[in-house]
Chain A
Amino acid sequence: MIGIGSINPQDLRLKEKEMVLGWALVLPAVVVILSLILYPILYNVYLSFFDVNPQYANTYVGLENHRKVVSDPEFWRAVTTTVIYVLFTTLGTTIAGLIVALAMNKEFPLRWLVRSLILFPYVAPVISVVFSWQFVFDPVNGIFMDLTYEKLGLFSSRFNLIGSPSTAVWVAILFSIWKNFPFSYLMILSRLQAVDQNLYEAAEIDGCSPLQKFRFITFPELYFVIGAIVLLRIIWNFNKFEDIFLLTENVKVLSVYTYFKAFVGTMELGQGASLAVIQFLLLVTFILVYVKKVLKW
């Protein structure tokens, strides 16, 4: 019998042992992730069908929560705001990241210092930078009003740019671009450094202009990394809460809207859960279209 089968008992025992050990080591991590990420997500779907009260038992209401949410015009305003926010922040962050990466790929004095200084916006805690931004746009003391009203005379009076929802969303977008461009820049830079320099030399011999070099070498090489950055930015900015809420409560994107619905005032937790589900479904649809059309996976 020995030597006929490719697996001998000794081997099998080792394999089994490895399996047991493998699962034993990864189990604690898997258990916490399952119980505190996966289970809550399913539980959230369940809650969206109930009238939820934090203290008492839930009562089943069927699709009532979803109906209430969708028939509220404020919800649709939040959807519009979210789309504007995601669209412009994603575009802005990616373009800014691309320009900065192209600049940082060139040699210049003190480049090492500049490269690390421009990462500051990305690493600093949100809470520590929002007040500085608010101060910049403060109607009384801020430098923005001082520049545009006092010095340039663009407006007829001082006003609070962060105060009204229609203008605050642009401040939030600018803030998000400022905060997140270093991430795009890092990803693009690391891809740029991997581009084969021979390609550029060959192009130079063929007489290509810098613009042509960018169009026909750099851009195709960067296509997929940019595609990935845009995808990540869409996911993250779609779910963004802190960067917006802490800067201004006036910009009601979906996450902020949900937060207000669920935790401020009457605490409509059921409707909040339903909103979270809808938000997630919107995101998934968006991603599926994007992955098919842009990344062609």
Chain B
Amino acid sequence: MVKRNSILRKTGFTLLILFIVFFSLFPFIQMISISLKYPSDWGNPSLIPAQINLEAYKELLNIDQEMKNVPESVRVLLEETTDLTREQKDEILKKYKSTGDVFPFMKYFLNSFLLACSAASGSVILAIFGAYSFSRLRYPGRSMVQRGVLFVYMFGGILLLIPLYKMFVGIGWLSSQGGAFASLLIIYMVQTLPVSLYMLGNYFRTIPFSIEEAAMIEGATRFGAIWRIIIPLSSSAIATVFIYSFMIAWNEYLFASVFLKGFKELYTLPMGLRALFVSKNAIWDRIMAASVLTALPVIALFMSIQKRLVGGLASGGVKE
């Protein structure tokens, strides 16, 4: 009786675990599956493609796209006429190069990467000094600054969107590409700053002050101590905060959609993907391949810092 009960419970538990894993991963499996399927196979609920189709990835990553739109007859003609020079051939091919409906995935990827990297760097640099200040130095107003930082948890993006939009329009930044990019960069930096301050502050407190004290007795300045001792000792925490800020900026859509509205050249990945989905040539395999390629760097980064980030999440240093 007892034995049967425990076997039953064990199977039940295993089923529960399997269900949890399946529930968590199903959308990802679905995404990879569709990105590899041929259109005729989409309606088939099986997750394993009948035939592997890499066309969507090739198109997004711009591999082998040169000859794709060239009609067969022209291709044959080009190969058979030997007396054309290379330049003349290129000239003919150029005519068929379509630029209109190709989805410039790499450009969006680069935009997102640039924006996220610079925002995260700015946030981390400001946070290192700020966090050092309120974890090490004593001065009136310190606890107010520290608590005020957490207050930001309360405000959603929509509350800041309208006034920030009006402010940046007011100073004329949103009328040029550079200005729009810069204003978005600053906004992302500020949005991640409170969490960076909080996480780094918590980490700095775990570094014994005696190490710095020794250095300063030896004649190091405060900045020397920060540069030579605090930063090297907390490099892993700094990396974590950097990646966290990077991920926030990489995922952001709300501000990007308003600030970059008129600048197609500057679209970030979330903007680009959504534009592709809404447009007429939304094709599931392309959308899914783009989804996979957007998720990949973030998941890879996450895996690299998982241990530390999980600790940080659990201690409350996170904002959505």
Contact = CB atoms under 8 A, between A and B. Distances in A.
A29 B310 contact: no
Contact of B20 (A55, A118, A190, A242): A118
A29 B163 contact: no
A22 B134 contact: yes
A290 B137 CA distance: 36
Given A22-B133, A236-B320, A41 B155 contact: yes
Interface stretch (B93-101, B233-241, B291-299): B291-299
B155 A25 contact: no
B129 A239 contact: no
Contacts, number: 254
B68 interface: no
SS class, residues of chain B in contact with chain A: helix
B16 interface: yes
Given A26-B129, A123-B298, A127-B270, A18 B27 contact: no
Interface in B4-46: 13-14, 16-17, 20-21, 23-25, 27-28, 30-31, 34, 42-43, 45
Contacts of A135: 30-31, 34, 284, 288
Interface stretch (A3-11, A70-78, A197-205, A272-280): A272-280
Interface stretch (B48-56, B69-77, B184-192, B207-215): B184-192
SS class, residues of chain A in contact with chain B: helix
B250 A125 contact: yes
A160 B123 CA distance: 43
B127 to A, nearest CB: 7
**Contact-size category for A:** 35 or more
B169 interface: yes
Interface string A42-62: 011001000010110000000
B29 to A, nearest CB: 9
B234 to A, nearest CB: 15
B165 interface: yes
Contacts of B270: 125-127, 246
B13 A23 contact: no
Interface in A87-129: 99-100, 103, 106, 108, 114, 116-121, 123-129
Given A41-B163, A44-B163, A263-B258, A29 B126 contact: yes
A30 B34 contact: no
Contacts of A24: 133
Contacts of A47: 162-163, 166
A131 B165 CA distance: 28
A28 B127 CA distance: 9
B164 A40 contact: yes
B266 interface: no
- Those 8 A-B pairs whose CB atoms lie nearest each other, nearest first: A239-B156, A29-B130, A22-B137, A25-B133, A40-B163, A190-B314, A128-B295, A19-B139
18 contacts: A21-B133, A21-B137, A22-B139, A30-B145, A37-B155, A37-B160, A44-B162, A55-B169, A125-B269, A125-B295, A128-B31, A128-B295, A239-B156, A242-B253, A262-B162, A263-B258, A273-B162, A279-B159
Interface of A: 18-19, 21-26, 28-30, 32-33, 36-37, 39-41, 43-44, 47, 52, 54-55, 99-100, 103, 106, 108, 114, 116-121, 123-129, 131-133, 135-136, 140-141, 143, 146-147, 178, 182-183, 186-187, 189-190, 228, 232, 235-236, 238-242, 245-246, 254-255, 258-259, 262-263, 269, 272-273, 276, 279-280, 283-284
